[in-house]
A and B are shown apart, each in its own frame.
Chain A
Amino acid sequence: MDHSTGNDYIVIKAEENGVQVIGLTRGQDTRFHHTEKLDKGEVMIAQFTTHTSAIKIRGKAKLITKHGEIESE
């Protein structure tokens, strides 16, 4: 299993206005440390880092990860 943190990333394309991308902290507490608002058509490429171990997407968006493609609603 790959435990590295600095080279994995996901691509998020918003399919409606106001899609929220929320970064959760690495470690014992999973707090929200960062958020970003995407409008329709905007693309964000987000990396898992030493600070971010999880990413939460709210709203309709297309996501591309190394595991495949998925759509959020």
Chain B
Amino acid sequence: MSVIIATDDLELTCPHCNGEKLEIINEERVTCSKCDGKGVILTALGQTLLHFFKKHT
């Protein structure tokens, strides 16, 4: 049995900055406050895999 995991199953584009990692506040481009400048938000599966790899590397 093979399991295929799509990127969408791991992370979704930040809806606040649309993946731009930046937002405009007072006409200044600053790090997106909603995703901390990552541009994406992890899913539960994404966080589980990330923690697993961090634990075993």
Contact = CB atoms under 8 A, between A and B. Distances in A.
Range class of the A interface residue count: 10 to 19
5 contacts: A31-B33, A32-B14, A35-B43, A37-B9, A37-B43
A58 B35 CA distance: 16
Interface of B: 8-9, 11-12, 14-16, 33-36, 41-44, 47
B41 A34 contact: yes
Given A22-B15, A37-B9, A37-B12, A31 B36 contact: yes
Interface of A: 18, 20, 22, 29-37, 56, 58
Contacts of A34: 41-44, 47
A32 B8 contact: no
Contacts of B9: 37
Q: Which 6 A-B pairs have the closest CB atoms?
A: A35-B41, A35-B12, A32-B41, A32-B34, A37-B8, A36-B43
A31 B31 CA distance: 12
A46 B43 CA distance: 13
The residue in A18, A30, A31, A56 that gathers the most chain B C-beta atoms within 10 A of its C-beta is: A31
